[in-house]
Structure 1
Amino acid sequence: MNMEEIYEEKQQEISYTEDNIRTLDWKEHIRRRPGMYIGKLGDGSHSDDGIYVLLKEAMDNSIDEYMMGYGKTIEVTVVDGKVSVRDHGRGIPLGKVVDVSSKMNTGGKYDSKAFKKSVGLNGVGIKAVNALSSYFKVCSFRDGEMKCAEFEQGNIVVDCPISKTNEDNGTLTEFIPDKSIFKDYQYLKEHIEPLLKNYVFLNSGLTIVFNGKKFHSRNGLVDLLNENMTTDPLYPIIHLKGEDIEVVITHSNQYGEEYYSFVNGQHTTQGGTHLTAFREALGRTIKEYYNKNFDYADIRSGMVGAISIKVEEPVFESQTKTKLGSKDMGPDGPSVSKFIGDFVKKELDNFLHINHETSEIMLQKIQDSEKERKAIAGVTKLARERAKKANLHNRKLRDCRVHLNDTKGKDLEESSIFITEGDSASGSITKSRDVNTQAVFSLRGKPLNSYGLTKKIVYENEEFNLLQAALNIEDGIEGLRYNKVIVATDADVDGMHIRLLLITFFLQFFPDLIKKGHVYILQTPLFRVRNKKKTIYCYNEEERLNAVNELGPNPEITRFKGLGEISPDEFQHFIGKDIRLEQVSLRKNDLVKELLEFYMGKNTMERQNFIIDNLVIEEDIA
């Protein structure tokens, strides 16, 4: 076959005709491209998995009703994967129950008179829940009448006529996420409760009842900070409220800054224009109040705060609404920056003039931060120069192409960095990784135990300094280059120790990295069980026994002693689409100082007795 014939055959293969053009209906589009509507899918093991987005979308409509002054209680029930949300608002207009559940770009939020400052503005949310559920039911109760409809995968299967009812006004939404999309999913209480708590913190007076447990807040964002702070505040939390804005701030003895931001009740985990304006306004106002030439980094060092604003017609940078893009408060309102700046300038300045005890403690904290910064200024300068040179050809870092702090592009949230120990492990991961989204940072042996040390050590220790530079977190996690910081060490005693040392480093100097859910542990298989037809990788003893039963008599069993023993070809299975990650998390009752003191301090005998009492001996596999 000559070149001309090959070209003609190729043209036939890739013909582009009217038959290639398809128009997907609304539910088919959502089911084919769920990521566009709810972010990632997941199985429920992480708080940002899709099943929690479905719950949030169902909740947002009820919250919007409360914000408009209707319905003080919302009941949420989650049993065996089935979710039920019942509010006591006005109820959906009965003639539109089916439309708002199954017609794209249909909703009451377009009418700013009915919903001035709501979360859901594009008429997509509840439709996405419908399309991605194997069972979806919506009932509206309104002035003694009710209307219900049931769907399967977005297709209506029951359309009940309007009938009489004794039920209170409001809306009931029930759904079961589709198992063909959400594989082996499970709703976890530890991810649902923080989501519901945030709703009550942001809506003082609202009561949410979750599986019989009541959540209620009297003090708004003050309760939110008290719930989330793992170190004691240096002074009572400053609480400032105005029309369409509520802020709280305090300082603690932790390094770095920590903020929680919300727009119209939506937790903007990635911040946005409002958080940027808030940080700038705090630094500027405090600097002007003391009339001293403080460095903004010293003012904000150890600061913990939260901001909640209400914006007309907010613009978010994605359907999942995790980052605010709006520059203005509304069509006729001031800019977000001016609105927040003017409020903080007036209210915080007044507060500090009146509350001298708080302003004196704040001043002392800023001066202590300044003193420490100046004491290590020389070391910091040398370390930065060293990191800059290393970044030009950093042997420890094999970078990827996509980064979380890129201004544009797709898959930014997929960007990851594996922190490995030793050349063999980092070599295997480097050869099998996705070069677009996965970077590798190689440790040289065990890192230093940083417990009880000052931030000077971050700059003096070459490994810590290069890691800090690779993550781009010296000035806070706003510039973080990787969404997932994955500790990838062997599952033996040395590997566990390295994990503890790295987590200690993050907790000491960059606690927000863990609190915001960016740090993970890579789970790798302990066993490979195979016969001539099939290979099964097992992550625990139970999986090994199941694999042996499945493969029949005398399968070959290999126990992996370390990551270096796993070939690059095999490693592809463990860091690809089936990657198993365990998120490192902190709860309110995890007191950081006490935890680190026990595990990493000098209480050798106490820790030794704990290890002996809790030691588990695992039989070696022949």
Structure 2
Amino acid sequence: IHPKEKVSGVQLVFTKLHAGGKFGQGNYEYSGGLHGVGASVTNALSEWLTVEVYRNKKVYKMSFHSRFNKRKNKIESGLPDGPLTEEPMSGNKKGSYIRFMPDANVFSETVFDLDTVEERLKQLAFLNRGVEITLIDERITMAEAKRTRMLFSTDEETENEEGEEGVENEEIIETEEVFEEQQGQQSLFAAFDQFASENEPYCVVFRFDGGISDYVKSLNDGKRRLYNIPIYHKTVKNDIQVEFSIQHTGEYRESMFSFVNNIPTPEGGYHEMGFRSGLTRVLNEYARSNGFLKEKDANFQGDDFSEGLSVVLSIKMANVQFEGQTKTKLGNTEARPAVEASVIEGFNAFKNVRGYKKVMEEIIKKAQGAAKSRIAAKTAKENARAKNSIDGLTLIGKLAACSGRKPELNEMFIVEGDSAGGTAKQARVRQFQSILPLRGKPLNVEKKKLAQILENEEIRTMISAIGAGIDPDFKLDKINYHKVIILSDADQDGMHIRCILLTFFFRYMRPLVNAGHVYIGMPPLYKVYKGDKVEYAYDDKELDEKIKIIGKGYQLQRYKGLGEMSADQLWETTMNPATRNLTQVTVEDAAKAERMITTLMGDKVEGRKEFLAKYANFNKRDAFIDKIEKTDKKEV
């Protein structure tokens, strides 16, 4: 019983705001919470919640419910069903068991998404080396999971293959384990319960004895790695625990994932600043002292060392200050010098490892190539600016710009093909809708350097139209449109174009995606009609519903391309804000998106073949053919 509040600790934590353990002295060394309200808010937003605490050979139980108070005419949430109960138990089990049901009166969606939960638990297992996390989903069986879900490979299956088709046959450096802490038993990249039968609930166990080094390896799955063993270091500076792991690849972009007290910080912060400054400093010192940089040569820039670099940075500290309630950016200035010093210390320790010089030479060679590309890209940018300098000269005849001057109201449709682009121009509302037709397939940026990308006319046109530049200089507050809508045909070519454009936005306009400004337009697949009665269906399931609405005697048309629709039809089905279907593009898990883009859009063909062989349904019946056959038989 709490001496001041006169209730049990369980009741206090689950019913009183700001009662979290982070506010007590010595309860937690580090905490990701800000206000100590997680447990109490979860209880308040749940239809019911039960707690079991195991300690001192006893089990303590308490339950809570939400109830409708007739007298007050309102729902009262998180009320205790009774006092905390106590029962003896055998054994020395310790821990807590909490179950809850989200309240449907509060949330429109109360079903937990397995992919989201699984990715977060996997991430936590990476960040907490050796901790075993078990996920069980009783909604699906092991057999169903193996048929329908992407399962992760083991570490043994992700090793590099020298001379693989489509990849330069460059020597892969063999190094010993960089630090003793990396040694140990093989990590588990999703170990499924070997003893579970096909009909038992889905169960996966995450445990990574390599910790964040295993995280880096998973990020680089399918990429050509310049050295096999990630560089790893862990230390404490000024009461801040710093842990990082890095590995360079043959890619052109950086993949950086940072965390504070296990909380992802996708917008970075002072810890990322410290990492970049430390890495730039220590690598420039090596390059200069070993003759890679002559006396008159300028230092490499930070971006030169970032090309192809995969990084996981995890720090733990007290009194965390995030910028904004969403905890996406670290605001503690003291994190910068602590991380910078840790990076320098880590590379100094790396000097004692066999293979150090070979690894460092590969890193510097990569930076030399990146510096040349940077200079070429700068020239390409200047040329692009010159071409676009006279009132956006390259956009004339391409972009049908809207007349509105408020970006928050404006939207731009990127439309596949001149024909559909012309129809879209007729259908649009000029006040707030712009149309940018694409001629042919855009460039797949995953396989190109920035200088090559900026030479592509379609890419330059998109950059100019959006108006905010590209990473790393992308300025979100400069965008001309708060909705950038990809509008392509519903066939394979259209899907390929969507993938190519999404890859470009993810790689070079990530803030645009993260802010929720990228959408996919959803034109209908079918038109069901009889006389003046018309219904549009956007998928096969909806087709059945629309056929029932129209009734017997219906006629059916399938749209193969946007160009088959008139301007009125395109407006009504796809462009009218009141009636259209848009899918907002979001990135729930950047690491997973990174792996998918590398697999599906990268150089390695084998990865795509394996993905398609495993997940593509080549035996699916064509719903349109089924309906036509049905129509012919019944003569409707």
TM-score above 0.5, yes or no: yes
Q: 1:511 to 1:572 in 2, by over 3 A?
A: closer
In 2, the alpha carbon distance for the partners of 1:612 and 1:200 equals: 32
Q: 1:126 to 1:190 in 2, by over 3 A?
A: same
Q: 1:501 to 1:268 in 2, by over 3 A?
A: closer
What does residue 86 of structure 2 align with?
163
What does residue 48 of structure 2 align with?
135
| Cα displacement string for residues 558-581 of structure 1 (whole angstroms, at most 9, x for unaligned residues) | 655545634435446679896335
What does residue 45 of structure 1 align with?
none
Q: Does 1:234 align with 2:226?
A: yes
Contact 2:62 2:80 in 1 (8 A): no
1:201 CA displacement: 1.2
User: Normalised by the size of structure 1, how large is the TM-score?
Assistant: 0.68
User: Normalised by the size of structure 2, how large is the TM-score?
Assistant: 0.66
Report the residue type matching 2:225 in the other structure: P
Choose 450-459 or 126-135, whichever is displaced more: 450-459
Match of 1:218 among 209, 225, 229: 209
Report the residue type matching 1:568 in the other structure: W
Q: 1:466 to 1:353 in 2, by over 3 A?
A: farther
Q: 1:550 to 1:126 in 2, by over 3 A?
A: farther
* SS at 2:243 equivalent: strand
In 1, the alpha carbon distance for the partners of 2:580 and 2:555 equals: 26
1:514 CA displacement: 12
In 2, the alpha carbon distance for the partners of 1:140 and 1:576 equals: 51
Contact 1:451 1:600 in 2 (8 A): no
* SS at 2:226 equivalent: coil
Q: 1:593 to 1:535 in 2, by over 3 A?
A: closer
Report the residue type matching 2:97 in the other structure: L
Please show how residues 308-327 of structure 1 align to structure 2 within 5 Å. Answer: 308-327=314-333
User: What CA RMSD, in Å, does the superposition of the two structures yield over aligned residues?
Assistant: 4.5
In 2, the alpha carbon distance for the partners of 1:254 and 1:268 equals: 23
What does residue 187 of structure 1 align with?
112
Contact 1:449 1:600 in 2 (8 A): no
Alignment gaps of 5+ in structure 2: 1-5, 67-75, 137-202, 294-298, 632-636
What does residue 373 of structure 1 align with?
374
| Cα displacement string for residues 17-57 of structure 1 (whole angstroms, at most 9, x for unaligned residues) | xxxxxxxxxxxxxxxxxxxxxxxxxxxxxxxxxxxxxxxxx
In 2, the alpha carbon distance for the partners of 1:539 and 1:147 equals: 49
Report the residue type matching 2:85 in the other structure: I
What does residue 571 of structure 2 align with?
568
What does residue 26 of structure 2 align with?
113
Contact 1:428 1:567 in 2 (8 A): no
In 1, the alpha carbon distance for the partners of 2:531 and 2:440 equals: 38
Q: 1:575 to 1:429 in 2, by over 3 A?
A: farther
1:95 CA displacement: 0.6
In 2, the alpha carbon distance for the partners of 1:265 and 1:529 equals: 51
Alignment gaps of 5+ in structure 1: 1-92, 328-334, 404-410
In 2, the alpha carbon distance for the partners of 1:454 and 1:345 equals: 30
Contact 1:286 1:349 in 2 (8 A): no
In 2, the alpha carbon distance for the partners of 1:180 and 1:537 equals: 32
In 1, the alpha carbon distance for the partners of 2:235 and 2:406 equals: 40
Contact 1:283 1:296 in 2 (8 A): yes
1:371 CA displacement: 2.9
Q: 1:161 to 1:182 in 2, by over 3 A?
A: closer
Q: 1:96 to 1:309 in 2, by over 3 A?
A: same
What does residue 582 of structure 2 align with?
579
Contact 2:230 2:245 in 1 (8 A): yes
Q: 1:479 to 1:314 in 2, by over 3 A?
A: farther
In 2, the alpha carbon distance for the partners of 1:321 and 1:577 equals: 34
Report the residue type matching 1:218 in the other structure: D
| Cα displacement string for residues 386-435 of structure 1 (whole angstroms, at most 9, x for unaligned residues) | 356566996648699899xxxxxxx9xx99975333434654896399x6
* SS at 1:525 equivalent: coil
* SS at 1:154 equivalent: strand
What does residue 77 of structure 2 align with?
154
Please show how residues 277-316 of structure 1 align to structure 2 within 5 Å. Answer: 277-291=274-288, 292=293, 293-316=299-322
Contact 1:94 1:147 in 2 (8 A): no
| Cα displacement string for residues 535-558 of structure 1 (whole angstroms, at most 9, x for unaligned residues) | 865321221102322564456866
Choose 370-379 or 118-127, whichever is displaced more: 370-379
Q: 1:586 to 1:121 in 2, by over 3 A?
A: closer
Please show how residues 73-472 of structure 1 align to structure 2 within 5 Å. Answer: 95-143=8-56, 144-152=58-66, 154-156=77-79, 158-166=81-89, 168-184=93-109, 186-211=111-136, 212-230=203-221, 231-235=223-227, 236-243=229-236, 244-291=241-288, 292=293, 293-327=299-333, 335-351=334-350, 355-375=356-376, 377-387=378-388, 396=399, 419-421=414-416, 422=418, 423-424=421-422, 427=425, 431=429, 442-448=437-443, 453-468=448-463, 470=466, 472=468
In 1, the alpha carbon distance for the partners of 2:12 and 2:210 equals: 38
Q: 1:393 to 1:593 in 2, by over 3 A?
A: closer
Please show how residues 419-568 of structure 1 align to structure 2 within 5 Å. Answer: 419-421=414-416, 422=418, 423-424=421-422, 427=425, 431=429, 442-448=437-443, 453-468=448-463, 470=466, 472=468, 474-476=470-472, 479=475, 487-502=486-501, 510=508, 521-527=520-526, 537-550=536-549, 552-553=551-552, 559-563=558-562, 565=565, 566-568=569-571
Contact 1:94 1:142 in 2 (8 A): no
Report the residue type matching 2:204 in the other structure: K
* SS at 1:306 equivalent: strand
Choose 361-370 or 545-554, whichever is displaced more: 545-554
Contact 2:488 2:494 in 1 (8 A): yes
Contact 1:459 1:465 in 2 (8 A): yes
Choose 205-214 or 379-388, whichever is displaced more: 379-388
| Cα displacement string for residues 59-108 of structure 1 (whole angstroms, at most 9, x for unaligned residues) | xxxxxxxxxxxxxxxxxxxxxxxxxxxxxxxxxx9812223222222222
In 2, the alpha carbon distance for the partners of 1:324 and 1:477 equals: 20
